[in-house]
Amino acid sequence: MKQEIHFVTGKGGVGKSVVAAALALKKSREGKKVLLVELGDQSFYKDFFDLPDIGFKPTEIKKNLSVALWTGEACLQEYARHLIKVESLAKLFFENAVMRAFINVAPGLPELAILGKVTSGPRQHGPPLPFDVLVVDAFATGHFIALLEAPKGMAQAVQFGPMGEQSRSIDACLRNSDLSKYHIVTLPEELPVKEATELLQRLKAEFSIEASLIVNKMVQTSISEAELKNTQNENSDLGKFAEYLEHQITHQKEMWNKAQAKAAAMKAVPLFFETDPWTLVEKVGDTL
pTM more than 0.85: yes
pLDDT(109) > 90 = no
Nearest to 213 by CA among 59, 28, 16: 16
Percent of the chain with pLDDT over 70: 91
Question: Of 18-22, 72-76, 200-204, which range is least confident?
Answer: 72-76
pLDDT at 82: 77
The burial of 159, by beta-carbon neighbours within 10 Å (0-12 exposed, 13-18 middle, 19 or more buried), is given as exposed
Phi-psi region of 217 (alpha: psi -120 to 50; beta: other; left: phi over 0): left
Closest C-alpha among 97, 34, 40 to residue 74:
40
Number of other residues whose CB lies within 10 A of the CB of residue 46: 17
Packing angle of the helix pair 109-118, 141-157 (nearest 10 deg): 100
SS3 content of the chain, % helix, strand, coil (to 5): 55, 15, 30
Strand order in the sheet with 133-137: 59-62, 65-70, 34-39, 133-137, 4-10, 180-186, 212-218, 266-270
Given a cut of 70, whether residue 113 has pLDDT beyond it is yes
| pLDDT band, very low/low/confident/very high, at 107 (cuts 50, 70, 90) | low
User: CATH assignment of 4-222+265-287, given 3.40.50.300, 3.40.47.10, 3.40.190.10, 3.40.50.2300?
Assistant: 3.40.50.300
pLDDT of residue 242: 87
Residue type for position 119:
T
Tens of pLDDT, residues 212-239: 999 999 998 888 888 888 888 777 888 8
CA–CA distance, 17 with 47 (Å, rounded to integer) = 12
90-104 confidence digits (pLDDT tens): 666 666 666 666 666
Interval 13-57: pLDDT, tens:
999 999 999 999 999 999 999 999 999 999 999 999 999 889 999
pLDDT surpasses 80 at 270? yes
**Residue 212, pLDDT score:** 96
